[in-house]
Structure 1
C-alpha cells in the first residue's frame, strides 16, 4: 500500500500531477511563512540578549559569573543625535585584568574610545562640534564586534576616562563582571531604562504572534492539504467499490498526503531562505536584525519537518471518512448535512469571555492578564472558524430570498448545499480581517489616548538639561561661568537660561495656582527671551515659576520672587533651557556644549525627543499591528487563492456539463464570483464587527477607554483587501474557461 500510495501521488496522470504541484506549492508557502515567523522570534530574542552587557551595574551578577581581579569604573548614559539613540559607556580601568564586554578586545584608556561601526560612520560624517566634542574628541582605538551589537544600526560608544574622573561622578560605580541578563529577564528597577524589550513586551509579541499569525498560517496549511479533496474522495470511493478495504484506502490517502506535504515542507525552507534577508531589514523592534540571527533551532526544524507531514496524513484520513463509510454515497455526490446553529456558541463564548473581563476586571499580574485576554481572543478566532459555515448558509438563504437571477440562484444553491467548503476558501481572509481590525482599533485608541499632543513651536524645539537636585548640597552641579554666553553664540540658538531650584513647597502654596511643574527661580531678562516659559510682572528682576517644559505658558505672568538677583547664583541649578530654531546643527551643537560642560549630568533632551521616548511602547505596538495586519492579509489572500482554484478544479464536471447544455461562460463566471463573494462578505462583516467588539472590551477592561474609530487608512486597507480578493476570484476565470471548454471535456 505504501508503494501504491507513493506511485499514485506522482504517476496518477496529469490531474494527479497538477494536484501534487499545487498542493506542494501551497504547503511550501504556508511552511515558509511559519518558519519565517519562528525565525523572527529567535532574532528578537538574540537581539534582546545582546543588550545584556549594557545592563552592567543595574543587575546583580548571575551565579557562577566570572569575576575579574581588577574592577572597572563604569557609567552608562543615554545620548541622542538627530532623534537617534546613542548608548554611551564611560569606563576607567584600575588594572590590566578588568572585565571585558563582548565584542571589545580591550577597554579604551583616557582620551580613547571604541565604537560600533555605525557610530564610527556617524562620527566621521558629523562635524566635531556637533558630536565628537561631547566625548572630549578622543582617539578611535577599536570597533565593537557583532557579539556586542544588538543591531547593525546600533550606535554605541565606550569612552575611556581616568579613575579619578569617574570616582567623582555620582552615577559611576565599580564593577568586576559584565552582565549577561537580558532586559526581558531583569526585574523592575534593576533594568536599565530604554534597553531592548522587557518581559511584558516579549510576552505581548509572542502572544500576539501566536494568535495573530500562526492561526491564519495554520488555516492556509489546512486549505492546502485539502486541495481537490472532493476529487480524491471520488477516486478513493471508486477504489472502495472495486474491493479496496477501508484500511488500505486510509493508508494510501495518508501516504499521498504525507509525501505531498513533505515535499512542500522542504520547499518551505527555500521560501525561508528568500524571506530571511528581507525580514532582517525590517526594523520591527525599532532596529534591524543581523541576518545570522534570523535562524531556526534544531527543535524548530524537527517539529516542522515531522509535524506538517504528520498532520497532513491525519487530516487526509479524517477527510476520507465519507468515502470509507459510504463509497456509493460519495460517488453519487450526496449532500452533506447542514451545519447547526450550535456553531455560533464558541463565537458567543469568546465575546462573553472578553465581556466578563470588562465587567469583573482583569486578573492580577501581567502574565495572568495576557493569558486571559489572548485566551479570549483565541476563542473568538476559533469561534469565527466554527461559526463560518452556519453564517455562510444563512447568507445564501438571504441571497435566494433577494434575487431571481440565474447566476445568483445557482451560486446560492451550491453554497447552501456545502457551506463548509464555501467558507473554507475565505476563512483565512476572514481571520485576517478580524485580527487586523482588533489590532488597528486597539493601537489607534492607545495613540489617541496616550500619544503626544500637538506641541506648540515655541516649546517643541527647547533643549532641556535637567540636573540631579537630589544630590547632596556640597556635591551639587556647578554650571560653568559663561555657559549661557557660549550657548547663545551658536548659530540657530535664540536664548539660553539657567533655572534655579525653588522653594520646597506645593505650587498652590507658592502662589503658582494650578500650574503643574517644579518650583524654580529665573531671571526676568532670561524669561523675556523664552516666552513659552511665561513672563515676569512689570519691574520684577527674578520670578518664581512652575517649570514644565511640556507646557506652553506663554502669556502667563509669574509672581515676583522675594529673592535678591545677586543671591540667585547661590541657589542650586535645576535646569539649563535653550531655545533653538530646530535645525540639527543648532540642536546638536548646543547639546554637545552642554554635555562637555556638564559631563556627569544626564544627556540634554528636546521636548520632541522626550515625547517620542514616552510613546516608544506605542511605536512598538504600532509596528506589531502593522506586521500582523500585513502578514495576516497576505496569508488570507493566499488561502483564498488556494481555495478558489481548488473550488473551480473540484467543480470541473458540473461546470462543464452546464456549459455543454448551453450556459454561457459569463454565467459560470458570475456563479463563481457569487459563490466566493457571499461567504467573503458575510465573513468580513462578522469579522470586522467582532474585531471592534473585542478591541472595545479589552480597552474597557484594561484601561477604561472606549475604542476610537481608525482613520481612513484602515478603511482603505480593508477596501483594497476585498478588491484584491475579488481579483483573486477573477484570476480563476481562465482556469474555468480551460476546464469547461467543450472541445476538451470528457465524460467522467
Structure 2
C-alpha cells in the first residue's frame, strides 16, 4: 500500500485518479442498491392514497365519510391528477399529505403544480384551474417531487352520479400481482444493462495508470521479486485505491442524495428518503468492488510476470486471437435462443438466471471483441494518411488496451441501450391480434375529433355545446346523451345516442324526424361480417352492467352516418333516438356527451378545449380518440430504465474523460518533444481526437450489432416480432459522436500544458 503513494506527485495523481473512478462507480452502485427501497416507498404512497372502495361493502353517509370523484386533466402532455372532494362531516378522512379538506371552490395543490401554475406560458392552465389555492399537498401524498396533483373542494355532489363515490378512509393494502413474462424480461434486461457498464467502468478505473504500474512492477521483477511478491504488491496498490474510492463513493452518494428531490430524469423523480440502500446490499457492494479490483489486477499481471523486459521496453505486444473472444457472445446466444425458449421459463428462478447469464455473456463479449477490432484496424490502416492520423494509430498500436479500456464502458452501455430499445419497441407494438379493421373515414391532415363527457348527466349538453364550439380551433360541437346497454344474458355492449332532431341530423342523414323516432345507423364502408350488434324493436336490454331494464323503441329507418360522426368509432350499428323514443329511463342514465371537430393548426388547441370544458364544469372529461393508450406498468418500467441508462451514460462519459486525461499525462514528455521539434498543436489535438473517435466508432458498430442481436433474442423468448426504431438507434449512435468531440475539447487545456518546454524534464 505504501508503494501506491510512492513516486511523488505522479504516484499521488495515479492513486487519486483510480480512487475517483472507483468512487463514481461505487456511488452508482449505492444508487442501484437504493432502487428496492425507492420502489417500496413509492408502493406505500400509492397504496396509502387509493380512493376507491375495494371492500365490496356499502358505506353510509356519516361524520366520518367524504365524497370524491376523478377530475384528472392533461396540460401540454403533462398528466395532472385531480380529485373533487366534499366532506360529509367534521371527522371526514383526509387524503395523505392534505392537512384539511378544501372548502367548495378552493383547491390544494402539489408544490410542482403550484410552480407550473406560476410559470410563464401556463395561462391556459391557470384559466382551467382558476380556484384559490388553500394549501399544498405534502410528500406523503405524492409519488415523487415532480408529480402534479390537486384536490378541489366540491358541493352538491351525489354518490353514484358519474364516478362520485363515498369513502370512510383512504388507502388499501393488497398483495402484489405477479408481473407478466414481458415485464419480467424487461426488468431482467434493465438490471443487467445498468449494472454491467458500471462493472466495466470500475474495472477500467482500477487500471488507470496501468502502464506506469506495469513498468514499476516489472522493475521489481527484474531486481529479484518472485511472482507472488509482485502480485502481492499489485494487490496492495489496488486495495488502497479501492478502499479510498469506496469511501469517496459513499461521500458522493450521501452528498448527491440531498439534492435528489431537485433532479428529474424522463419524468421520474425520488424523495431524499427514498435513496436509502438496502442494508444487505451495502456490504455486498463493497466486497464486490474490492474483489473486482483484485481480479482485474491479477488478470492484468500476465505481461509483467511472463515478459518483464517487454514491459520495460514498451513492446507492441502480440496479435490478439479472435476465437475465444467470440465464444462469450456465442454462449450467450445459445442460452437465450436454445435453452430458454418460452415465456414460461421466466416464471422460475432457473429461467431468470439463464437469461441474466446469457445477457451478461453477450454484453461482456463486447469488451472482448472490441480490442481485437481496434488492433486489426490499426494494422490495416497504418502507413498512410495525415500526420495526426498516423500519430493516433501508432499510439493505439503501442497501447491498444489503454485505447479501448475507457471505450469499453460506452460500448457496453450503448449495446445495452440498443437491446432495451429493441425489446421495448417490440413489446409496445404487441403481437398481431387479427382484429377486424375499424370502419371510418380518413380524417384530413389537420382535422381531428374530441369527446367531452359530463358524468353528472345530460341536462346541460345543449347549452354547453355552443360554448365549446366557440373555442378557437373548434369547427363543430354536437351535443347528445350516450347510453350503454347490454343484453340480459350477456354479450356485446351496444350504444344509444339520444338528442333532438337538430342534433341527430348532424350525426346522420335523416329522411324526416320527429320526437319519438329512432334510427339505426350504418357506418360508411362497414363490413357486415364484423358487425356483432342486433337491434329489434321491443327487445329488453339492461342499462350499464347492472342497471334497470330498457326497451328498444320502434326503429323508424336505417340511415348512413355523416362526416360529423368521429373517425375511430367501432364498426357497429349505433341507435340514434329522440328523447321521446329513449323514455325517462334512458334519459336518466345517459351520459352527457359533446363531439368536437377541431383543427390542429391552432396552437395548444387541445389544451384550449380542456380549459373551456373545465370552466363550464370541472367534472368534464375530455378525450382525444386516436391517442395511443399506454401500458402503465410497461411505461413505468421503461421510464425507470431510461433514467438509469442516462445516469450510466453520464458515468461512462466521465470514464472516457478520465481515460483521455490519463493518456495525455502518460504521454506528456513525448508530446513536449514533438512540440519542441515543431509539431503544430492542431496536429496533436487531431491525434487525440482520432484516439478517442476510432475506438468509439468501432465500439458503437460492435455495440449496435450486439444490442440488436440481444434485443431480437429476448423478443424471441416471448414470441414477439422485432421492430426497429431507427431514429432511436441513430440517436444512440450520436451519443458516441458527441462524447468523442466533447472529451477531446475537455482535454485540450491539459494537452496545451503538456506541450510546454517544462515537459521535457525527466527524472
Which category of TM-score, normalised to the shorter sequence, fits these structures?
0.7 to 0.9
2:367 aligned partner: 385
Contact 2:481 2:590 in 1 (8 A): yes
Deviation at 1:310, TM superposition (A): 5.1
1:544 aligned partner: 520
Contact 2:485 2:495 in 1 (8 A): no
The superposition leaves residues 499-547 of structure 1 with CA deviations (integer Å, 9 ceiling, x where unpaired) of 34377579xx99xxxxx97454554421445xxxx42233345433489
Deviation at 1:696, TM superposition (A): 3.8
2:740 aligned partner: 725
Deviation at 1:20, TM superposition (A): 2.0
Please give the alpha-carbon distance, in whole angstroms, between the structure 2 residues aligned to 1:118 and 1:672.
45
Q: Scaled by the length of structure 1, what TM-score is found?
A: 0.73
Match status 1:215 vs 2:185: no
Match status 1:566 vs 2:580: yes
2:593 aligned partner: 577
* Most deviating of 241-250 and 214-223: 241-250
Deviation at 1:221, TM superposition (A): 1.5
**Closer, same or farther in 2 for the Cα pair 1:486/1:715, shift >3 Å?**
closer
Contact 1:104 1:148 in 2 (8 A): yes
1:103 aligned partner: 97
Please give the alpha-carbon distance, in whole angstroms, between the structure 1 residues aligned to 2:273 and 2:155.
34
**Partner SS for 2:72:** strand
Deviation at 1:440, TM superposition (A): 3.9
Deviation at 1:26, TM superposition (A): 2.5
**Closer, same or farther in 2 for the Cα pair 1:653/1:265, shift >3 Å?**
same
- Kindly report which structure 2 residues correspond to 1:93-242, keeping only aligned pairs within 5 A, or say none: 102-104=96-98, 116=110, 144-152=137-145, 153-157=147-151, 165-166=158-159, 172=165, 178-181=171-174, 186-187=176-177, 207-242=188-223
**Partner SS for 1:715:** helix
Aligned alpha-carbon RMSD (Å): 5.2
Match status 1:526 vs 2:498: no
2:658 aligned partner: 642
Match status 1:22 vs 2:17: yes
**Partner SS for 2:481:** strand
- Kindly report which structure 2 residues correspond to 1:229-628, keeping only aligned pairs within 5 A, or say none: 229-244=210-225, 246-272=227-253, 275-276=256-257, 279-284=260-265, 286=267, 288-299=269-280, 301-305=282-286, 307-309=288-290, 311-324=292-305, 327-328=308-309, 330-333=311-314, 335=317, 338-356=320-338, 360-363=341-344, 375-400=357-382, 403=384, 415=396, 419-443=400-424, 459-465=448-454, 479-480=458-459, 482-489=460-467, 492=471, 495-501=477-483, 518=495, 520=497, 522-529=499-506, 534-540=507-513, 542-545=518-521, 552-553=566-567, 566-570=580-584, 571-572=586-587, 573-579=589-595, 582=605, 584=607, 586-591=609-614, 593=616, 604-607=621-624, 611=627, 614=630, 620=636, 623-624=639-640, 626-628=642-644
**Closer, same or farther in 2 for the Cα pair 1:550/1:464, shift >3 Å?**
farther
Please give the alpha-carbon distance, in whole angstroms, between the structure 2 residues aligned to 1:208 and 1:524.
58
**Partner SS for 2:321:** coil
**Closer, same or farther in 2 for the Cα pair 1:21/1:521, shift >3 Å?**
same
The superposition leaves residues 187-207 of structure 1 with CA deviations (integer Å, 9 ceiling, x where unpaired) of 38xxxxxxxxx8989867754
* Most deviating of 263-272 and 583-592: 583-592
Please give the alpha-carbon distance, in whole angstroms, between the structure 2 residues aligned to 1:300 and 1:53.
27
The superposition leaves residues 350-396 of structure 1 with CA deviations (integer Å, 9 ceiling, x where unpaired) of 344444599x5433667888776655433321221222233333333
In structure 2, which of residues 697, 704, 719 is the aligned counterpart of residue 681 of structure 1?
697
**Closer, same or farther in 2 for the Cα pair 1:186/1:255, shift >3 Å?**
same
2:708 aligned partner: 692
Contact 1:24 1:261 in 2 (8 A): yes
**Closer, same or farther in 2 for the Cα pair 1:704/1:170, shift >3 Å?**
closer
The superposition leaves residues 117-145 of structure 1 with CA deviations (integer Å, 9 ceiling, x where unpaired) of 56678899999997679xxx9x9887543
**Closer, same or farther in 2 for the Cα pair 1:22/1:536, shift >3 Å?**
same
Between Structure 1 and Structure 2, how many residues are aligned?
684
Please give the alpha-carbon distance, in whole angstroms, between the structure 1 residues aligned to 2:7 and 2:762.
18
Contact 1:517 1:546 in 2 (8 A): no
Please give the alpha-carbon distance, in whole angstroms, between the structure 2 residues aligned to 1:168 and 1:404.
79
**Partner SS for 1:460:** strand
**Closer, same or farther in 2 for the Cα pair 1:404/1:110, shift >3 Å?**
closer
Deviation at 1:227, TM superposition (A): 0.9
The superposition leaves residues 45-87 of structure 1 with CA deviations (integer Å, 9 ceiling, x where unpaired) of 43332111123556679xxxxxxx9974675635326463324
Please give the alpha-carbon distance, in whole angstroms, between the structure 2 residues aligned to 1:584 and 1:739.
57
**Closer, same or farther in 2 for the Cα pair 1:618/1:362, shift >3 Å?**
closer
**Closer, same or farther in 2 for the Cα pair 1:52/1:546, shift >3 Å?**
farther
Please give the alpha-carbon distance, in whole angstroms, between the structure 2 residues aligned to 1:341 and 1:647.
29
**Closer, same or farther in 2 for the Cα pair 1:158/1:207, shift >3 Å?**
farther
The superposition leaves residues 390-411 of structure 1 with CA deviations (integer Å, 9 ceiling, x where unpaired) of 33333334335x9588876776
**Closer, same or farther in 2 for the Cα pair 1:736/1:60, shift >3 Å?**
same
In structure 2, which of residues 73, 86, 89 is the aligned counterpart of residue 80 of structure 1?
73
Please give the alpha-carbon distance, in whole angstroms, between the structure 1 residues aligned to 2:11 and 2:171.
61
- Kindly report which structure 2 residues correspond to 1:695-710, keeping only aligned pairs within 5 A, or say none: 695-699=711-715, 702=718, 704-710=720-726
Contact 1:216 1:635 in 2 (8 A): no
* Most deviating of 49-58 and 545-554: 545-554
Please give the alpha-carbon distance, in whole angstroms, between the structure 2 residues aligned to 1:557 and 1:631.
47
Contact 2:521 2:574 in 1 (8 A): no
Contact 2:668 2:754 in 1 (8 A): yes
Whichever structure has more helix as a proportion of its residues is: 1
**Partner SS for 1:537:** coil
**Closer, same or farther in 2 for the Cα pair 1:592/1:390, shift >3 Å?**
same
Please give the alpha-carbon distance, in whole angstroms, between the structure 2 residues aligned to 1:132 and 1:355.
54
Please give the alpha-carbon distance, in whole angstroms, between the structure 2 residues aligned to 1:550 and 1:278.
52
Contact 1:104 1:144 in 2 (8 A): yes
* Most deviating of 227-236 and 360-369: 360-369
**Closer, same or farther in 2 for the Cα pair 1:24/1:577, shift >3 Å?**
same
Deviation at 1:344, TM superposition (A): 0.6
Contact 1:498 1:522 in 2 (8 A): yes
Please give the alpha-carbon distance, in whole angstroms, between the structure 2 residues aligned to 1:457 and 1:216.
45
1:191 aligned partner: none
Please give the alpha-carbon distance, in whole angstroms, between the structure 2 residues aligned to 1:595 and 1:675.
61
